[in-house]
Amino acid sequence: MALVSTQYGPVRGTDADVLSFKGIPYAARPVGPNRFEPPQPPEPWTSPRDATAYGATAPQTEAGELGALVPRRVIPGDDYLNLNVWTPSLAGRAPVMVFIHGGSFTSGSGALSVYDGSRFARDGVVLVTINYRLGADGFLWFGDGTPNLGLLDQIAALKWVRDNIAAFGGDPGNVTVFGESAGAMSVCTLLAMPSAEGLFHRAIAESGAAHNTIGPETALIVGAKLAIALGTEPTREAIADVPIDRLLAVQDELGRQATKARAKKWGDVARTLLPFSPVVDGELLPAPPIDRIRSGAGADVDLMIGTNSEEARLFLIPTGAAAKISTPLLYAAAGLRFGLPIGGVRHYRANRRGSTPGEVLAAIMTDAYYRMPALWLAEAHPGTYVYEFGWQSPACNGTLGACHVVELPFVFDNLDDASTATMLGSAPPQHLADLVHKTWVDFAKTGNPGWPAYTTDNRVSRHFATASGTTTDPHPEERTSWPTPARNQSLLARDLR
């Protein structure tokens, strides 16, 4: 057993090939008077606290229809604002990486086995995974009180890292924050938050960018819809009286409704598809993250951002939605939902001859929601490195492709984790995991992943697949088909009138 003293008390972890410490509280239990309030310091302790097993996870429902591909882990308990640390040694000053999980801001945790940080520690990195408040508890706002509590939890965890990680052998002056999906959106939002300045020095965003926030008016719309569905008043106090199981069930139902949302009734959710997400409140988050970054916020932070080649197939193929898409519906969905002109749809079809309309829509949705926002962010943040993960999963008879979340076992070098078998098949390429994992480690150590930064002059990116290499502006005719972000916003504004 290994013993480490933190600012709140000693913790006892596991001493195996690497050292690990799990379930360490970085903030007080977010229940009772602490619920819907900014994170508070945990109660100090004096006796060594057992840190050999994962702690509680944020309240969420069990995995739904995609559970076989994207599992969840639910551990009951109120003390869920905790984190986990893997380290090669308690001595030294190793680079630190802090992972923020995804899950649409309503699910996920740092306790998934695929996020085990042992291979990062093996390679000289102190790896930290965190939990934060989700759904209504983390992102509901009625215009009063403190918004963005889930983001404030993430900032509290980063402050804990700043103040305590040296005791675990980490360098608080070299912290890389990275995340996937909603975790990547969190990373990019943190880049834009004044209260997060100086807490991290490098950032990696996997399958998420700086365009997934909502405005105060939309926050009120979401709050009203939640209250009506629960049959209660639109206040945090009233929501707090609702049994948690019912609250979680209604949250999930709002999430399903949001996938078909129109701006007139849902505001910004029609664009983000996420009813619970960071709110541009004007103070904690002074402006949309992409605008803040374009104006220089986070310019001193090294940034790597990327997407998977076929992200949206995860949502359209296993559910059977892709098979229901006809050619007329393809054009209608591309234009009304994503703002892609008819000529752009034709480019996508021409580049994918033999593909079904549903497969073409998946490509359009991938670019609308993931790839184009990543490129727009790379254009806004100088010195950004861009990648694309293109290895195609054999799942769903080979139709799942390089879908959302498929890169995670490669990043963590955990291809042997049992929870990934359904997604990855029986023989995922270890050489690709070696390369991807090393790239993330190299970036954390040096700020340079090994290829040129992206600019509008070169548009260089790294393509990770069975045969990897550097690419330059793949499918430029598709990229240039998309309206600018400002144009997309104006379309939404018109729809709201």
- CA 441 from chain centre, in angstroms, equals 19
Residues 248 and 377 occupy one common structural domain: no
Query: Is residue 296 in some structural domain?
Result: no
pLDDT of residue 485: 67
Q: Look up the domain containing 255 and give its range.
A: 216-272
DSSP 235-283: SHHHHHTS-HHHHHHHHHHHHHHHTT--HHHHTTHHHH--SS--B--SS
Residues 238 and 158 occupy one common structural domain: no
Q: Which residues on neighbouring strands pair with residue 303, listed in sequence order?
A: 203
pLDDT of residue 215: 97
* CA–CA dist 50, 430 (Å, integer): 34
Query: Is residue 294 in some structural domain?
Result: no
Structure tokens at 265: 């009734």
Residues 331 and 223 occupy one common structural domain: no
Query: Is residue 492 in some structural domain?
Result: yes
Residues 370 and 246 occupy one common structural domain: no
Write out the H or E segment, with its range, that includes residue 442.
Answer: helix 430-446
Yes or no: say if 341 and 327 are a contact pair by the CB < 8 Å rule.
Answer: no
Q: Walk along the chain (497 residues) and give the pLDDT tens digit of each residue.
A: 899 999 999 999 999 889 999 999 999 999 999 999 999 999 999 999 999 999 999 999 998 888 889 999 999 999 999 999 999 999 989 999 999 999 999 999 999 999 999 999 999 999 999 999 999 999 999 999 999 999 999 999 999 999 999 999 999 999 999 999 999 999 999 999 999 999 999 999 999 999 999 999 999 999 999 999 999 999 999 999 999 999 999 999 999 999 888 888 999 999 999 999 999 999 999 999 999 999 999 999 999 999 999 999 999 999 999 999 999 999 999 999 999 999 999 999 999 999 999 999 999 999 999 999 999 999 999 999 999 999 999 999 999 999 999 999 999 999 999 999 999 999 999 999 999 999 999 999 999 999 999 999 999 999 999 999 999 999 999 999 999 764 444 333 333 33
Residues 450 and 468 occupy one common structural domain: yes
Is 89 an active-site residue? no
Catalytic residue chosen out of the listed positions 101, 211, 347, 404 = 404
In degrees to the nearest 10, what's the CA dihedral of 327, 328, 331, 335?
A: -150
Query: Is residue 438 in some structural domain?
Result: yes
Query: Is residue 468 in some structural domain?
Result: yes
Residues 168 and 260 occupy one common structural domain: no
Query: Is residue 152 in some structural domain?
Result: yes
Angstrom CA distances, 114 to 54, 58, 108, 409, stand at 13, 18, 12, 6
Yes or no: say if 122 and 88 are a contact pair by the CB < 8 Å rule.
Answer: yes
* CA–CA dist 375, 455 (Å, integer): 9
Is 311 an active-site residue? yes
Residues 347 and 255 occupy one common structural domain: no
pTM score, whole prediction: 0.96
Residues 223 and 203 occupy one common structural domain: no
* CA–CA dist 212, 182 (Å, integer): 9
CATH number at residue 420: 3.40.50.1820
Residues 405 and 434 occupy one common structural domain: yes
Residues 471 and 451 occupy one common structural domain: yes
DSSP 63: P
Query: Is residue 278 in some structural domain?
Result: no
Catalytic residue chosen out of the listed positions 180, 311, 359, 407 = 311
Query: Is residue 297 in some structural domain?
Result: no
Residues 196 and 221 occupy one common structural domain: no
* CA–CA dist 229, 250 (Å, integer): 7
pLDDT of residue 488: 40
Q: 259, 289, 319: which is the final residue of a domain?
A: 289
The count of structural domains within the chain is: 3
Catalytic residue chosen out of the listed positions 118, 181, 393, 461 = 181
* CA–CA dist 78, 55 (Å, integer): 10
Residues 39 and 172 occupy one common structural domain: yes
Is 404 an active-site residue? yes
